[in-house]
Amino acid sequence: EAGVAQSPRYKIIEKRQSVAFWCNPISGHATLYWYQQILGQGPKLLIQFQNNGVVDDSQLPKDRFSAERLKGVDSTLKIQPAKLEDSAVYLCASSLGNSGYTDTQYFGPGTRLTVL
């Protein structure tokens, strides 16, 4: 079974530029998550989709971050304009989407963003 795919794996941009990340979840997984992991910290949820609807985006900085999941499969996360403090690894995860607590999240390899 193929895992969660993410691209690009690395990205270096200047502040105030824009950047986009792509995620392809595990086939059949209804729920998709985007996390931000700053160096030395654990992953922090940015946004959660159930199919193509947003379930939770309470921690997404909406003035500069946006995300979409068209057709309930692939997803893109965009930052515009980027700030120095956005330097982090952006992780995508997916899960089956059942309502139980055993709904295990499977993570992709992440995209490491460096903002100069």
Partner 1 sequence: DQQVKQNSPSLSVQEGRISILNCDYTNSMFDYFLWYKKYPAEGPTFLISISSIKDKNEDGRFTVFLNKSAKHLSLHIVPSQPGDSAVYFCAARGSGSARQLTFGSGTQLTVLP
State in angstroms the smallest separation of the CB of 108 from partner 1. Answer: 5
Q: Comparing C-alpha atoms, which of 23, 22, 30, 20 is closest to residue 3?
A: 23
Q: Tally Cβ neighbours within 10 Å of residue 16.
A: 10
| 23 to 62: interface string for partner 1, x by CB under 8 A | -----------------xxxxxx--x-------x------
Q: Comparing C-alpha atoms, which of 85, 80, 72, 68 is closest to residue 22?
A: 68
Residue 93 binding partner 1, by CB under 8 A: yes
Q: For binding to partner 1 (CB under 8 A), which residues are involved?
A: 4, 40-45, 48, 56, 91, 93, 101-102, 104-110
